[in-house]
């Protein structure tokens, strides 16, 4: 097993700080193989979503791995269209069926779509009856979280957001941490179109520690308290991405990466969820 930490969420559920993301993993064996390889390598956290259309392939990868469901932390997300069309219950039930499970460990609202407060009330109902062990949000900005608070609704356990060395989200992260909402980073390496692993600052630190650029960025996330879910569909990289539990970054490393922040997104703004 990998030497990752378990992070206690605000409802007491524990989540592995490290996992496999399957965004842009193709439907079919590409996804199921990646999940199986990750589980064989010691991963125990898999992150998918309705919108990725590969929840069923995640289930197949889990089944083929032979790892008991009880040992695996599964995250999925309610799709934009399900929220916009007010098909909240249908969406949750679709995820449960596709993942071949009677519970999902963490279920998120994928984007702050109109109707998100009502969708959140539905997630709370599924949480209360145990079908969702923890509930959270994705791509929510401060004002969206404030709306949930203003309506007296339960705080999310997690906010999954774009976060990487060139977009560090200090204000949002601080707001969430003050309320014990854990930050989970998507596109943690900068994203497939904007990879940061070969940046000179990262390569300098990688050479110092005898690690790859990807390993340095993953370790940066862990050392700064983020839950991190790097994506790969190549077995050697899935294994390599997990080889980050035998070192830490020092203050100099952290300062160099902090200086990389441009406060600019690589991908979609929550203001343009459509």
Residues annotated as catalytic are 52
User: Which single residue is written with the structure tokens 């990289």?
Assistant: 237
Q: What is the separation of C-alpha 67 from the centre of its chain, rounded to a whole number of angstroms?
A: 21
According to the 3-state scheme, what is the secondary structure of the chain?
A: CCCCCEEECCCCCEEECECEECCCCCCCHHHHHHHHHHHHCCCCEEECCHHHCCHHHHHHHHHHHCCCHHHCEEEEEECHHHHHCCCHHHHHHHHHHHCCCCCECEEEECCCCCCHHHHHHHHHHHHHCCCECCEEEECCCHHHHHHHHHCCCCCCCEEEEECECCECCHHHHHHHHHCCCEEEEECCCCCCCCCCCCCHHHHHHHHHHCCCHHHHHHHHHHHCCCEECCECCCHHHHHHHCCCCCCCCCHHHHHHHHCCCCCCCCCCCHHHCC
- Largest Cα separation within the chain, whole Å, is 52
């Amino acid at each position: 097993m990998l030497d990752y930490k378990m992070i206690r969420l605000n409802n007491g559920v524990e989540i592995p700080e490290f996992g496999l993301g399957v965004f842009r993993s193709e439907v079919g064996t590409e996804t199921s193989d990646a999940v199986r390889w990750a589980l064989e390598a010691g991963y125990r956290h898999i992150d998918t979503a309705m919108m990725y259309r590969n929840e069923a392939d995640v289930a197949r990868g889990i089944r083929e791995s032979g790892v008991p469901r009880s040992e695996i932390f599964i995250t999925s997300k309610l799709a934009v269209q399900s929220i916009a069309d007010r098909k909240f219950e249908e969406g949750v039930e679709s995820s449960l069926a596709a993942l071949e499970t009677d519970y999902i460990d963490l279920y998120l609202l994928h984007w702050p779509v109109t109707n998100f407060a009502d969708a959140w009330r539905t997630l709370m109902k599924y949480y209360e009856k145990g079908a969702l062990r923890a509930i959270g949000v994705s791509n929510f900005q401060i004002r969206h979280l404030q709306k949930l608070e203003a309506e007296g609704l339960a705080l999310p356990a997690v906010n999954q957001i774009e976060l990487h060395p060139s977009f560090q989200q200090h204000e949002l992260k601080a707001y969430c941490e003050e309320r014990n909402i854990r930050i989970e980073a998507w596109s943690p390496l900068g994203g497939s179109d904007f990879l940061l692993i070969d940046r000179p600052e990262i390569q300098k630190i990688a050479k110092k520690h005898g690690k790859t650029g990807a390993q340095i960025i993953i370790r940066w996330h862990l050392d700064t308290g983020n839950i991190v879910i790097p994506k790969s569909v190549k077995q050697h990289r899935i294994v390599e991405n997990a080889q980050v539990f035998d070192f830490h970054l020092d203050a100099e490393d952290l300062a160099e990466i902090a200086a990389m922040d441009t406060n600019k997104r690589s991908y979609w703004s929550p203001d343009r969820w459509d």
